[in-house]
């Protein structure tokens, strides 16, 4: 194969994926780890094979990757195979013991998150095949292992221990818990569950000691083992769902899509809502720990005019016209705008069983996740992941996942920031956020509601997952649209 391998710490994932996109746009095939790979049994074998077969090896240097045993192991494998290596300094100091291996290699300075200059891609072309059109993501393409290659088999043995800054962290076991950083409510719940489980196991053990003269039925024993294996599999499937453990980190959740409509599932878990008052002067402070004991469905996309038209034809919605000009006659694919809070609520009620607008907390959790990222995709602002005027001018493009494949949230909800701002079911009140203080589903006819996500013409500072805006219920603003939520029924 003639692909490029990218080694990086997950703390630098935003830049790594930005670089991978650029490389593919320049015509190179790229191998870069992803969540699907990290949750598979082939994670270490895939890494070794990808390095073994790559035409060039890029490593992103930062304080996080400097500490990562995985990045160091990947560098060692590439060095052993004499792979052409291109170190990129994203942050930190180049003069560390781990980076001494590059003492004779000129590093590429990408500090500040900038992309390499054109000359870099010309150098890559000397080692890796460059297509005239777009390159491919080949991460999921794993070749068969040559069992006669002893050096390859040896390299696949004994992967380094997991660390939180690796580019390929193995999935957390259901029995593992975070040692710190858990919200107090979740920590108390975990401890209580452990106490109950230990007590039940102790009781069963005390009442199930076998008779010394009894013989062991091997078939029965094998059956019991199979049942235990099945039980473990069923428990692992329930992570984030009723009967299972809550999600502790965003990467633990694999997006699940509804069969009935354009909805994605938001699992059980906790997050930090809002911002730290010590560093924020906005109305999104102080921060509050919020937990969800039940999953719920949220629309993967903002409601489009095509879908609104179906509601109009059914007689449940009123005719509205778009303020925003569409590209290439794609009016029906535009997000609904100029819609009042009451009209949006009526659509959600029609759209699904017990459908409604999301509360402010539901919206922010679906956007940020347990990691409480400031942006749906992570910790850094990425302008190309957003549909806003800085990228597209005065004409709004149709809702199209291909335009911004890096812009979705951890549950695969798109355009949580940018495009159009979104109505919520929450009345605007000061923080700290309290869902029981009467702010949810206000009974007034024209309350002031919270609007989330920022719109097409917002400034970059306003395009965050914590930014709060407001509008009266009867306002039909040019920049406001909506998405719906629906309860999870198993």
Q: Are residues 149 and 40 in the same domain?
A: yes
Q: Are residues 332 and 455 in the same domain?
A: yes
Dihedral pair phi/psi, residue 122, rounded to 5°: -65, -35
- pLDDT of 220-272, one tens digit each? 333 333 333 333 333 344 789 998 889 999 988 989 998 878 899 999 999 99
The predicted structure's pLDDT at residue 169: 33
The predicted structure's pLDDT at residue 400: 58
CB 27 within 8 A of CB 147: no
Does any domain span residue 189?
A: no
Domain boundary among 156, 191, 220: 156
The CATH number covering residue 327 comes to 3.90.1580.10
Joined together, the tokens standing for residue 23 give 């490389």
Q: Are residues 264 and 374 in the same domain?
A: yes
Does any domain span residue 75?
A: yes
| Predicted model pTM | 0.55
The predicted structure's pLDDT at residue 166: 35
The predicted structure's pLDDT at residue 42: 63
Nearest CA among 350, 315, 308 for reference residue 331: 308
Domain boundary among 156, 173, 196: 156
Q: Are residues 143 and 262 in the same domain?
A: no
Stated as kind and residue range, the H or E segment containing 346 is helix 341-351
- pLDDT of 337-366, one tens digit each? 999 999 999 999 999 878 999 999 999 999
Q: Residue 202: is it exposed, middle or buried by C-beta count within 10 angstroms (0-12/13-18/19+)?
A: exposed
Does any domain span residue 221?
A: no
Q: Are residues 147 and 260 in the same domain?
A: no
Does any domain span residue 231?
A: no
Give the bridge partners for 220, in sequence order: none
Does any domain span residue 241?
A: no
Taking residues 10-27, report their average pLDDT.
88
Number of domains in the chain: 2
Does any domain span residue 326?
A: yes
Residue 398 CB neighbours (<10 A): 19
Considering only residues 20 and 228, tell me which one the structure prediction assigns the higher pLDDT.
Answer: 20
The predicted structure's pLDDT at residue 382: 83
Taking residues 404-413, report their average pLDDT.
82
Q: Are residues 146 and 255 in the same domain?
A: no
Does any domain span residue 124?
A: yes
Q: Rounded distance, CA 360 to CA 473, Å?
A: 15
Stated as kind and residue range, the H or E segment containing 25 is helix 13-25
The CATH number covering residue 80 comes to 3.40.50.10140
Q: Are residues 289 and 403 in the same domain?
A: yes
The predicted structure's pLDDT at residue 395: 61
Does any domain span residue 184?
A: no
Omega of the bond leading into 104 within 30 degrees of 0 (cis): no
Q: Are residues 116 and 257 in the same domain?
A: no
Domain boundary among 156, 190, 223: 156
DSSP string, 35-65: HHHHTSTTHHHHHHHHHHH-SEEEEEE-HHH
Radius of gyration (C-alpha) of the chain in whole angstroms? 26
Q: Which residues constitute the domain of residue 450?
A: 250-487
């Amino acid at each position: 194969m003639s692909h490029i391998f990218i080694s990086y710490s997950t703390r630098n994932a935003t830049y790594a994926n930005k670089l991978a996109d650029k490389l593919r746009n320049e015509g190179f095939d790229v191998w870069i780890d992803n969540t699907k790979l990290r949750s598979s049994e082939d994670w270490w074998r895939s890494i070794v094979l990808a390095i073994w077969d790559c035409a060039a090896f890029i490593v992103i240097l930062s304080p996080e990757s400097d500490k990562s045993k995985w990045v160091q192991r990947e560098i060692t494998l590439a060095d052993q195979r004499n792979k052409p290596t291109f170190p990129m300094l994203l942050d930190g100091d180049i003069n560390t013991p781990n980076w001494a291996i590059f003492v004779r290699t000129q590093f590429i300075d990408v500090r500040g998150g900038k992309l390499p200059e054109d000359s870099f891609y010309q150098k890559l072309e000397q080692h890796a095949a460059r297509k005239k059109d777009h390159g491919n993501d080949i991460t999921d393409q794993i070749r068969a292992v040559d069992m006669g290659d002893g050096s390859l088999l040896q390299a696949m043995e004994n992967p380094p221990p997991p660390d939180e800054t690796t580019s390929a962290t193995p999935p957390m076991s259901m029995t593992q818990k975070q040692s710190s950083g858990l919200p107090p409510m979740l920590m108390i719940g975990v401890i209580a569950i452990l106490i109950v489980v230990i007590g039940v196991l102790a009781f069963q053990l005390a009442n199930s000691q076998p008779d010394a003269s009894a013989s062991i039925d091997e078939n029965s024993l094998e059956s019991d083992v199979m049942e235990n294996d099945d039980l473990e599999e069923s428990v692992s499937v329930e992570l984030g769902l009723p009967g299972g453990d809550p999600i502790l980190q965003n990467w633990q959740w694999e997006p699940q899509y509804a069969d009935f409509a354009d909805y994605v599932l938001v699992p059980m878990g906790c997050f930090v809502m809002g911002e730290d008052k010590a560093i924020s002067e906005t109305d999104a402070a102080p921060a509050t720990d919020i937990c969800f004991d039940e999953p719920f469905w949220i629309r993967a996309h903002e409601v489009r005019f095509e879908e609104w038209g179906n509601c109009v034809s059914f007689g449940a919605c009123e005719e509205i016209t778009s303020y925003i000009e569409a590209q290439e006659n794609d009016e029906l694919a535009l997000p609904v705008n100029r819609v009042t809070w009451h009209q949006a609520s009526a659509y959600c009620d029609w759209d699904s069983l017990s459908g409604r607008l999301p509360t402010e907390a539901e919206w922010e959790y679906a956007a940020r996740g347990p990691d409480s990222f400031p942006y749906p995709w992570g910790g850094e602002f990425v302008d190309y992941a957003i549909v806003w005027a800085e990228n597209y001018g005065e004409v709004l493009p149709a809702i199209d996942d291909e335009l911004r494949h890096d812009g979705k949230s951890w549950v695969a909800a798109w355009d949580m920031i940018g495009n159009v701002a979104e109505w919520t079911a929450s009345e605007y009140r000061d923080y700290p956020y309290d869902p029981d203080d009467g702010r949810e589903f206000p009974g007034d006819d024209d309350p002031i509601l919270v609007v989330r996500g920022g719109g097409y013409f917002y400034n970059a500072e306003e395009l965050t997952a914590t930014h709060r805006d407001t509008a009266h219920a009867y306002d039909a603003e040019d920049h406001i649209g909506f998405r719906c939520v629906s309860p999870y029924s198993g």
